[in-house]
C-alpha cells in the first residue's frame, strides 16, 4: 500500500494521548466506607471489573477511530510501479493503400480511426503520425476530423522508418515510459532482416486485417511494335484464382475503345493484349472491378508523338553499320567527315558519334565540350591507329579518362555490367553463355567512369555513363567482330536513346523520373504539369535544344498529366501508384522482437488503462471511522 500524503501519517503519534489519559484514569480510585458485608464487597468487585473492560473497549475503539481518520487523510492507494511514472505515447497509424481492404463494410483505415476515437481518453495528450502526416502533442478531439477525412497514401513506412520517426516525437527524458503503438495490417514489405524496434520504447503491435485477403491488381503494361503486325498493348494482372475471368476495359480519354476478359492461371497471373492504332497519340486508361483494393483497379498510360533523336556521326571510314542501327523511324542520322563538318550544327544534335577518327582536332574538342555541357551525348570509337595526345587531351575532361597504350594481344569480350543504366530492362536474366565477340587490338584505359563491357582480362572495352561513352578498340571488321554481335543493337540504341530521354508510356509515383522534351525555352519560360484540380512545376533544366524535366516528390496522385507552356499543351505524361501494396501478404508478429501484441485497439486501451490504474482506499477508511464512532456510542450506551 502507498500513500498520496505520507507526511500526514506523523499524526498517528497523537494516539499516545488517549492512551496516556486512559492509563491515568485507571490509576484513580475512590474510597467508599460501608458495613463489612461480604456480599456487598463482591458486588463492588464485579462492578469495578465491568467498568475496566468498558474503558479498554472505548480506548481501542477511539484509537482505531483516530487511526482510520488519519490514514483516510493520507489517502492510501495501490498500483503497479509503472502507474506512477510519467508516460509518453506515440501512435503510428498506417494509411497505406493496403488499408483500403474491407472489414464489415468499412476499410481497415476507417475501422482503425473509429476505434481509436472510441477508445481514447478525450483529455489524454499524445502524438500521432501516418506515412505522410504528423500530429504532435494533441488530444483525440483536436485531430478527430482530420483522421476521419484521412486519405490513403502510396507510401509505406518500414519498421526502421517508423522507429526513427517516433524517436523524433518522444522527448529526450530518460525518466518517462515511452509507449509506441503501431496500428497497421503489417504487410511483409514493412519488415526486412535488418528491421528492429528499439527496446528503449514499449512497442505495442495491433494488427488490423480483413477477413478476405484476395485482391486483383492491374500491375503493368508494355507496348509491342512490329513491322510484320499491328501495334499491340499488353496488360499484366495478378491476384486472380485459377481459371477466373475478369473483364478489363481500355479507354482513350473517356471513350471506351476495347473490352476483353483476363483469364488467370494457376499462379494467379494473367495477360491480355489489345490492338492499338499505330503512330497515333493515345491517352489510355485500363480498368477492372474487384472486391479487394481499389487503387490498383485502374492503370494510366499515354502514347505521345515521338520526337526523333538527332544523331550526328563524324567518321573517317565506312560507317554504314550505324545506318542500320539508327533507323529513320526513331532517329535522324547525319554523317560527315571532318572536312565536311559544320561545327555550328552540333548544337542542334542530341548525340555525336566520333567513329574511327585518327585524331580529334582542338577546334572540335572545344565545341564538343560545350555540346556535352549542354546535355548532349558523346560516343567515342577510336581508330586502330590514333594520336594519343589529341585523344587524351579531349578525354581527360570526362571522368579523367586516358588511353594509356595499345595492346596487340587479342581478347574476348566476356563481362556485361547488367546493373548499368545502359542495359536496364534489356535482359530478362543474366546471360553468361553467349558467343563472345573479340578484339585484336585495343587501348588500355584509365578512367573513373564505370565499365559497361569488359574484356576477359578485366580491362574495359566500353565504359561511360551520363552522356559519355568510350570504346577502347576500333570496331572495324578487321579488328573486331563486335558489329556482328547481338550486343551491338541494344548498346548503341540505348546510348543514343539516353541522349534524349523520351517519356515512357507510364511512370511510377515516388520514383525519380527524368524526361527530355525537344524544345527551346525562353529565358523566363517555364513548363507546368497539370491535370484537373492538380498542378505543379517540376524541376527543369533548359538546354539549347531540349528541356529536361525531373520528377520525384510530385505528383502525389495518379493520372494522365499535361505538360504545358504558357497554357499550351506540349505532350502528356502518365503516373501510376506503385503496386507494392497490392499483394495482401502479412507478417507473423510473434517472430518480431521487442514487441507486445494486442488483438484489438479496444483490448490495447483496456490493458494500458489497467497498467495506469490506481486503486484508492481512503473512502473505506472514512467508512471504517464512521463505523467505529457508531461502535463507541453502542459501548457507551449498552456496556455497563
User: What span, in angstroms and rounded, lies between the C-alpha atoms of 5 and 12?
Assistant: 13
Q: Is the pTM of this model over 0.85?
A: no
pLDDT at 610 over 80: no
Question: 555-562: which pairs have CB atoms within 8 A and are 24 or more residues apart?
Answer: 555/509, 555/529, 556/154, 556/509, 557/509, 558/295, 558/298, 558/300, 558/509, 559/300, 559/531, 559/534, 560/283, 560/285, 560/300, 560/302, 560/531, 561/529, 561/530, 561/531, 561/534, 562/529, 562/530, 562/531
Cα separations in angstroms, 355 against 21, 328, 378: 121, 20, 11
CATH 2.60.40 fits 507-579, yes or no: yes
C-alpha pair distances (Å), 292 with each of 5, 208, 220, 558: 58, 15, 18, 19
Higher pLDDT pick, 616 / 260:
260
Contact partners, residue 462, CB within 8 Å, separation at least 6? 451, 452, 453, 469, 470, 471, 472, 491
- Reference 613, options 164, 159, 84, 220; nearest CA is 84
Q: What is the structure's pLDDT at 228? A: 45
Q: What confidence tier does 471 reach under pLDDT thresholds 50, 70, 90?
A: very high
- Residues 515 and 507: their CA atoms lie apart, in Å, by 10
**Region(s) of the chain under CATH 3.40.50.880:** 309-497
- Of 204-218, 290-304, 539-553, 602-616, the least confident: 602-616
Its CATH class, for the domain covering 309-497, is: alpha beta
* DSSP three-state, residue 397: coil
Banded model confidence at residue 433, pLDDT cuts 50, 70, 90: low
The C-alpha cell 567482330 sits at 481
| Sequence-ordered alpha helix ranges (H) in 75-201 | 108-119, 140-148, 159-169
Mean pLDDT of the 505-514 span: 90
For 393-432, the pLDDT digits (tens) are 999 999 999 998 888 888 898 888 888 888 877 776 666 6
C-alpha cell at 569: 499543351
- Whether the CB-CB separation of 251 and 284 falls below 8 Å is answered with yes
Q: What is the Cα–Cα distance from 547 to 375, expressed in whole angstroms?
A: 9
Mean pLDDT of 478-493: 88
pLDDT in tens, 127-175: 999 999 999 999 999 999 999 999 999 999 988 899 999 999 988 887 8
d(CA 114, CA 132): 20
Cβ atoms of 605 and 613 closer than 8 Å = no
Q: Which of 93-102, 273-282, 327-336 has the highest mean pLDDT?
A: 93-102
Can you tell me the distance from the alpha carbon of 232 to that of 303, in angstroms, rounded to the nearest whole number? 12
3-class DSSP state of 125 = coil
pLDDT at 51: 67
- Give the pLDDT band (50/70/90) at residue 227: very low
Superfamily name and number for 217-303: Immunoglobulins (2.60.40.10)
pLDDT tens for 58-104 read 778 877 888 888 877 877 766 566 555 688 889 999 999 999 998 88
On the question of pLDDT at 605 being above 70, the answer is yes
- CATH 3.40.50.410 residue ranges for the chain: 84-210+584-612
Dihedral sign from CA coordinates of 505, 508, 510, 513: negative
Say if CB 561 and CB 573 are below 8 A apart.
Answer: yes
Element (H, E) at 55: helix 38-74
Question: Which residues does 511 contact at the CB level (< 8 Å), separation at least 6?
Answer: 552, 578
The yes-or-no verdict on residue 378 having pLDDT over 80 is yes
Other beta carbons within 10 angstroms of residue 149's beta carbon come to 8
Tell me the CA end-to-end span of the chain in Å, nearest whole number.
Answer: 39
Task: Give 35-52 pLDDT, tens digit per residue.
Answer: 555 555 555 555 556 667
Q: Cell numbers of 125, please? A: 495528450
Q: E strands along 253-401, which residues?
A: 255-263, 269-275, 282-287, 298-303, 309-315, 331-337, 351-357, 377-382
Q: Which cell numbers in the block locate residue 177?
A: 515510459
Identify the band that residue 26 occupies on the pLDDT scale cut at 50, 70 and 90: low
CATH of 84-210+584-612, one of 3.40.50.410, 3.40.50.2300, 3.30.2320.50, 3.30.950.10: 3.40.50.410
In the chain, % of residues over pLDDT 70: 89
What CA–CA distances, in Å, run from 39 to 31, 34, 44, 72, 408? 17, 12, 9, 50, 147
Where b means 16+ CB within 10 Å and e means fewer, 330-369 reads: ebebebeeeeebeeeebeebbbbbbbbbebbeeebbebbe
Which of 138, 116, 117 is closest to 127 using CA atoms?
A: 138
Q: CB 153: neighbour CB atoms within 10 A?
A: 20
Query: Residue 468 pLDDT more than 80?
Result: yes
CA distance 211 to 104: 9
pLDDT of residue 622: 82
Nearest to 316 by CA among 357, 354, 352: 357
What is the dihedral sign for C-alpha 65, 66, 67, 71? Answer: positive
Computed over every residue of the chain, the mean pLDDT equals 84
Amino acid at each position: 500500500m502507498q500513500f498520496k500524503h505520507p507526511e500526514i501519517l506523523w499524526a498517528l503519534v497523537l494516539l499516545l494521548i488517549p492512551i496516556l489519559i486512559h492509563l491515568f484514569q485507571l490509576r484513580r480510585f475512590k474510597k467508599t466506607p460501608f458495613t463489612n458485608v461480604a456480599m456487598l464487597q463482591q458486588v463492588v468487585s464485579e462492578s469495578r471489573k465491568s467498568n475496566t473492560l468498558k474503558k479498554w473497549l472505548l480506548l481501542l475503539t477511539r484509537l482505531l477511530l483516530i487511526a482510520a481518520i488519519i490514514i483516510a487523510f493520507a489517502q492510501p492507494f495501490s498500483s503497479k510501479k509503472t502507474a506512477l511514472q510519467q508516460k509518453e505515447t506515440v501512435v503510428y497509424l498506417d494509411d497505406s493503400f493496403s488499408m483500403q481492404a474491407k472489414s464489415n463494410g468499412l476499410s481497415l483505415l476507417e475501422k482503425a480511426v473509429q476505434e481509436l476515437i472510441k477508445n481514447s481518453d478525450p483529455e489524454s495528450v499524445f502524438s500521432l503520425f501516418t506515412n505522410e502526416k504528423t500530429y504532435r502533442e494533441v488530444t483525440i478531439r483536436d485531430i478527430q476530423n482530420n483522421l476521419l477525412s484521412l486519405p490513403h497514401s502510396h507510401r509505406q513506412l518500414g519498421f526502421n522508418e517508423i522507429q526513427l520517426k517516433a524517436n523524433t516525437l518522444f522527448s529526450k527524458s530518460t525518466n518517462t515510459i515511452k509507449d509506441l503503438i503501431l496500428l497497421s495490417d503489417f504487410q511483409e514489405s514493412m519488415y526486412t532482416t535488418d528491421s528492429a524496434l528499439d527496446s528503449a520504447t514499449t512497442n505495442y503491435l495491433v494488427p488490423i486485417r480483413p477477413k478476405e485477403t484476395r485482391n486483383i491488381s492491374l500491375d503493368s503494361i508494355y507496348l509491342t511494335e512490329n513491322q510484320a503486325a499491328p501495334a499491340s498493348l499488353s496488360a499484366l494482372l495478378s491476384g486472380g484464382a485459377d481459371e477466373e475471368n475478369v473483364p478489363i476495359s481500355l479507354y482513350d480519354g473517356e471513350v471506351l475503345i476495347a473490352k476483353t476478359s483476363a483469364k488467370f492461371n494457376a499462379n494467379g497471373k494473367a495477360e491480355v493484349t489489345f490492338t492499338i492504332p499505330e503512330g497515333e497519340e493515345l491517352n489510355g486508361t485500363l480498368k477492372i472491378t474487384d472486391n479487394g483494393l481499389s487503387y490498383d483497379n485502374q492503370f494510366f498510360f499515354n502514347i505521345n508523338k515521338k520526337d526523333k533523336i538527332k544523331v550526328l556521326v563524324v567518321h573517317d571510314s565506312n560507317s554504314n553499320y550505324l545506318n542500320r542501327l539508327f533507323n529513320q523511324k526513331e532517329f535522324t542520322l547525319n554523317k560527315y567527315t571532318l572536312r565536311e563538318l559544320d561545327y555550328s550544327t552540333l548544337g542542334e544534335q542530341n548525340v555525336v558519334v566520333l567513329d574511327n577518327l585518327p585524331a580529334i582536332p582542338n577546334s572540335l574538342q572545344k565545341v564538343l565540350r560545350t555540346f556535352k555541357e549542354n546535355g548532349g551525348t558523346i560516343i567515342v570509337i577510336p581508330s586502330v591507329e590514333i594520336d594519343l595526345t589529341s585523344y587524351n587531351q579531349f578525354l581527360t575532361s570526362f571522368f579523367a579518362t586516358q588511353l594509356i597504350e595499345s595492346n596487340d594481344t587479342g581478347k574476348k569480350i566476356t563481362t556485361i555490367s547488367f546493373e548499368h543504366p545502359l542495359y536496364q530492362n534489356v535482359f530478362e536474366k543474366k546471360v553468361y553463355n553467349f558467343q563472345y565477340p573479340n578484339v585484336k587490338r585495343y587501348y588500355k584505359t584509365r578512367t573513373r567512369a564505370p565499365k559497361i563491357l569488359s574484356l576477359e582480362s578485366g580491362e574495359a572495352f566500353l565504359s561511360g555513363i551520363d552522356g559519355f561513352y568510350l570504346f577502347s578498340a576500333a570496331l572495324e571488321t578487321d579488328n573486331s567482330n563486335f558489329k556482328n554481335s547481338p550486343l551491338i543493337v541494344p548498346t548503341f540504341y540505348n546510348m543514343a536513346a539516353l541522349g534524349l530521354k523520351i517519356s515512357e508510356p507510364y511512370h511510377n509515383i515516388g520514383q525519380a523520373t527524368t524526361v527530355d522534351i525537344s524544345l527551346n525555352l525562353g529565358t523566363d519560360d517555364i513548363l507546368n504539369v497539370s491535370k484537373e484540380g492538380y498542378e505543379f512545376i517540376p524541376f527543369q533544366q533548359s538546354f539549347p535544344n531540349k528541356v529536361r524535366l525531373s520528377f520525384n516528390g510530385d505528383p502525389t496522385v495518379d493520372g494522365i498529366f499535361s505538360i504545358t507552356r504558357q497554357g499550351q499543351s506540349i505532350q502528356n505524361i502518365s503516373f501510376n501508384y506503385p503496386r507494392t501494396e497490392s499483394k495482401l501478404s502479412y507478417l507473423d508478429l510473434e517472430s518480431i522482437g521487442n514487441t507486445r501484441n494486442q488483438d484489438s485497439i479496444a483490448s490495447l486501451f483496456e490493458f494500458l488503462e489497467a497498467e495506469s490504474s490506481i486503486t484508492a482506499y481512503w473512502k473505506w477508511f472514512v467508512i471504517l471511522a464512521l463505523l467505529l464512532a457508531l461502535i463507541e456510542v453502542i459501548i457507551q450506551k449498552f456496556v455497563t
